[in-house]
Amino acid sequence: MSRIPHFALLVVQVFSLFFAPSSDAQRSYDLVILNGRVIDPESKSDSIRNLGITNGTIKTITTNKLSGRTVIDARGLVVSPGFIDLHQHGQNDENYRFKAMDGVTTALELEVGTGDVDSWYAQREQKSLINYGVSAGHIAARMKAMREPAAFLPSGDAARRAATDPEIREMQESLEQGLKRGAIAVGFGIQYTPSASRWEILEMFRVASRFGASCHVHLRHAGMKEPGSSIQALEEVISAAAITGAPLHVVHIQSTGGPATPKLLQMITEAKSRKLDITTECYPYIAGMTDIKSAIFDEGWQEVFGIDYKDLQWAATGERLTKDTFAEYRKTGGMVAVFSMTEEIVTAAIKSPVTMIASDGIMERGKGHPRTAGTYSRVLGNYVREQGALTLMDALAKMTLMPAQRLERRVPSMKNKGRIRVGADADLAIFDPRSIVDKATFQDPAKYAEGVRFVVVNGVLVIKDGQLQSNIYPGRPVRSPIN
Ligand SMILES: [Zn+2]
C-alpha cells in the first residue's frame, strides 16, 4: 500500500471517530431514559447513565446521547431495577395499582399460594399492570384434601384436624401437580394449620426439594413463650431444609419473631454459614394483619404475642377491640391489625444483611394494611433517608437483586429481573430519593406512595410523571418452565 492512500484512510478513520454518529445514536429505541442516577445492586454501580430500551429489554447503558420514540428526563432521579415483592396476597387491579405507585414491578403470592396454578395464571393473563406469579400452597392442598370449602385461610378441619396418611399423600400430589404446572415455589402458613404435624411438613418439603422449589414459610409459632416459641418454630423448618435439601424462605420474620427477632436473624445467619440455603424477609411496620377467625387467635394469643384486646385494630372501621367486640368479630371473620412489634425490632430486621423487603400486602376495596401501598417507599423514605439505618444501595438490593436470586434456580427468567444490565428485562422504578414517602396509614391505608415518578414494566410506562397510566396491561407471568 502506498503512503498517501494509507494516510488518507487514517484521516477518514479519525474523522469518523470524532464526527460520525455512534452506533447508540444511530439506533432509535422504543424508550430512552436520560440522565438518571442508575443504581444496579448486582454490579454495585451507581452513576449517571442513559438507558435505551426496545422490545421490553434494556439494550444499552451509556453516557452517549440516545434517541427514542419516547424520551424521559430522569435528571435528579434514581433509576433502580423495579421492586420484586415476594409476598403480595392481593393479586388484582386494585392491588397492582398500589404496588406500582410504590415502585413494585413484580408482585408474587408465595406464602399462601394457590391450589390451582393454571387457572390462577389464566385469570391474570393480559389483564395485569405488573408482573405476577404464585406458589403451590400447602394451605390450599390441605383444605382440598380435607374437603374444606376454598377460602383465603382455613378455619375448619384444615386448620384444626390432624391429617391421615392418605390425606398427606393427597396434599403431596396437589403440590406436585402445581409445581409441574410452573408454580414458582411452595407456600406454607403453619400457624394457620397448627394441626399439621411435623412429619406432614417434612413430607411437603420433600416434594419441594425434588422440584428445586423454595419453601416460603409462615412459621408455626410466634413470639418468645416456650414451649411453642418462634425459635422452636424456626428450628422446625431449618431442620426440614437440612433433612430434605429444600431451600427455605421465612416470611415476615419481624412480625412472627416479635422480641425474638434478633435471635431468629442470628439463627438464620448461622445456618447460612453452614451452607444451608435459607433466606428471610420483613416489612417496615409495627403491626401485622390477619383474619380474626384464623387459628392465630385461638386460646392464649395474648400471652403468645404479649398483647391484649386494645392492641387489635379492626381494619373495616379502624376501631380498637375489646373483649366483647373481639368475640363478636371472631364469629363473622375479617381483617384485624395486630400491634405486637416495636420500632427497634423493625429497624433491626430491616438493617440485617439476611433480610429482603416484602410487603405481605392485601387491599380490598380500600381497606387493609398500609404495607400494601407503602412498604417500599417507607423503607426508602423513613429508614434510608430519614434515619440512615441502611444505605440506598443495600436497601435496593433487598428489594430487587436478592428476591430475584432467591427464585432464579427454579425460575431462570428471574436472572433477567432485579438488575440493570444489557439484556435484562426493562422493569424499572424511577424515584426521587429526596421526596419518596409512604402516605398510607392504619387509619387510611388506601393512599398511594409519593415520589415514584416513573415505573416501567416490560418496557412500558405504567407510571408517567407520578401518574398511573390507564388501560395498559404489560404485566407478564413469572412462572417456572413447564416440562
Ligand atoms: Zn403470614
Mean pLDDT of 68-77: 98
Tell me how far the alpha carbon of residue 82 lies from the centroid of ligand 1, in angstroms: 23
Tell me how far the alpha carbon of residue 288 lies from the centroid of ligand 1, in angstroms: 9
Strands 278-282 and 355-357: parallel
Tell me how far the alpha carbon of residue 165 lies from the centroid of ligand 1, in angstroms: 26
Higher pLDDT, 14 or 67: 67
Tell me how far the alpha carbon of residue 188 lies from the centroid of ligand 1, in angstroms: 9
Instruction: Tell me the pLDDT band of 180, cut-offs 50, 70 and 90.
Output: very high
Strands (DSSP E) contained in 297-389 are 312-314, 335-339, 355-357, 363-364, 367-368
Q: Distance between CA 54 and CA 31 in Å, rounded?
A: 7
Mean pLDDT of 324-333: 95
pLDDT for 23: 60
258 has pLDDT over 50: yes
pLDDT for 24: 63
Sign, CA torsion 325/327/330/331: negative
Q: According to DSSP H, which parts of 360-400 are helical?
A: 371-378, 392-399
Tell me how far the alpha carbon of residue 350 lies from the centroid of ligand 1, in angstroms: 17
20 has pLDDT over 70: no
Tell me how far the alpha carbon of residue 111 lies from the centroid of ligand 1, in angstroms: 7
6 has pLDDT over 90: no
Cβ-count burial of 167 within 10 angstroms (0-12 exposed, 13-18 middle, 19+ buried)?
buried
Tell me how far the alpha carbon of residue 252 lies from the centroid of ligand 1, in angstroms: 7
278 has pLDDT over 60: yes
Tell me how far the alpha carbon of residue 59 lies from the centroid of ligand 1, in angstroms: 38
Mean pLDDT of 177-194: 97
Tell me how far the alpha carbon of residue 119 lies from the centroid of ligand 1, in angstroms: 23
Q: How many helices (H) and strands (E) does the chain have?
A: 17, 22
Tell me how far the alpha carbon of residue 26 lies from the centroid of ligand 1, in angstroms: 51
Cell of 433: 430519593
Tell me how far the alpha carbon of residue 413 lies from the centroid of ligand 1, in angstroms: 26
12 has pLDDT over 90: no
Tell me how far the alpha carbon of residue 324 lies from the centroid of ligand 1, in angstroms: 26
Instruction: Tell me the pLDDT band of 150, cut-offs 50, 70 and 90.
Output: confident
Query: Do 347 and 420 form a contact (C-beta atoms < 8 A)?
Result: no
Tell me how far the alpha carbon of residue 336 lies from the centroid of ligand 1, in angstroms: 13
Mean pLDDT of 316-322: 93
- Contacts of 329 by beta carbon, 8 Å cutoff, 6+ apart: 292, 314, 321, 336
Tell me how far the alpha carbon of residue 335 lies from the centroid of ligand 1, in angstroms: 13
4 has pLDDT over 50: no
Cβ-count burial of 160 within 10 angstroms (0-12 exposed, 13-18 middle, 19+ buried)?
middle
11 has pLDDT over 70: no
1 has pLDDT over 50: no
Q: Distance between CA 127 and CA 136 in Å, rounded?
A: 21
**Residue 483 host element (H or E):** none
Tell me how far the alpha carbon of residue 327 lies from the centroid of ligand 1, in angstroms: 22
Average pLDDT of every residue of the chain: 94
41 has pLDDT over 70: yes
Tell me how far the alpha carbon of residue 189 lies from the centroid of ligand 1, in angstroms: 6
Query: Do 120 and 477 form a contact (C-beta atoms < 8 A)?
Result: no
Tell me how far the alpha carbon of residue 37 lies from the centroid of ligand 1, in angstroms: 35
Lowest pLDDT segment from 9-13, 381-385, 431-435, 454-458: 9-13
Tell me how far the alpha carbon of residue 353 lies from the centroid of ligand 1, in angstroms: 21
Instruction: Tell me the pLDDT band of 21, cut-offs 50, 70 and 90.
Output: very low
Tell me how far the alpha carbon of residue 250 lies from the centroid of ligand 1, in angstroms: 9
Amino acid letter, residue 185? A
Tell me how far the alpha carbon of residue 408 lies from the centroid of ligand 1, in angstroms: 23
Tell me how far the alpha carbon of residue 455 lies from the centroid of ligand 1, in angstroms: 28
Tell me how far the alpha carbon of residue 56 lies from the centroid of ligand 1, in angstroms: 33
Q: Distance between CA 320 and CA 92 in Å, rounded?
A: 29
Tell me how far the alpha carbon of residue 36 lies from the centroid of ligand 1, in angstroms: 36
pLDDT for 151: 84
How many residues can be counted in the chain? Answer: 483
Lowest pLDDT segment from 15-24, 76-85, 241-250, 328-337: 15-24
Q: Distance between CA 220 and CA 277 in Å, rounded?
A: 20
pLDDT for 25: 59
Neighbours of 170 (CB within 10 A): 16
Tell me how far the alpha carbon of residue 195 lies from the centroid of ligand 1, in angstroms: 17
Tell me how far the alpha carbon of residue 218 lies from the centroid of ligand 1, in angstroms: 5
pTM attached to this predicted model: 0.93
149 conformational bin, left if phi > 0, alpha if psi -120 to 50, beta if neither: beta
pLDDT for 26: 67
Instruction: Tell me the pLDDT band of 305, cut-offs 50, 70 and 90.
Output: confident
Tell me how far the alpha carbon of residue 360 lies from the centroid of ligand 1, in angstroms: 7
Closest by CA to 449, choosing from 373, 346, 355, 345, is 373
CA torsion 193→197→202→207, rounded to 10°?
-50
Tell me how far the alpha carbon of residue 112 lies from the centroid of ligand 1, in angstroms: 8
Largest distance between two CA atoms of the chain: 102
Tell me how far the alpha carbon of residue 256 lies from the centroid of ligand 1, in angstroms: 8
Cell of 391: 444505605
Closest by CA to 62, choosing from 38, 84, 98, 92, is 38
Q: Give the end-to-end CA distance of the chain in Å, rounded to a whole number.
A: 60
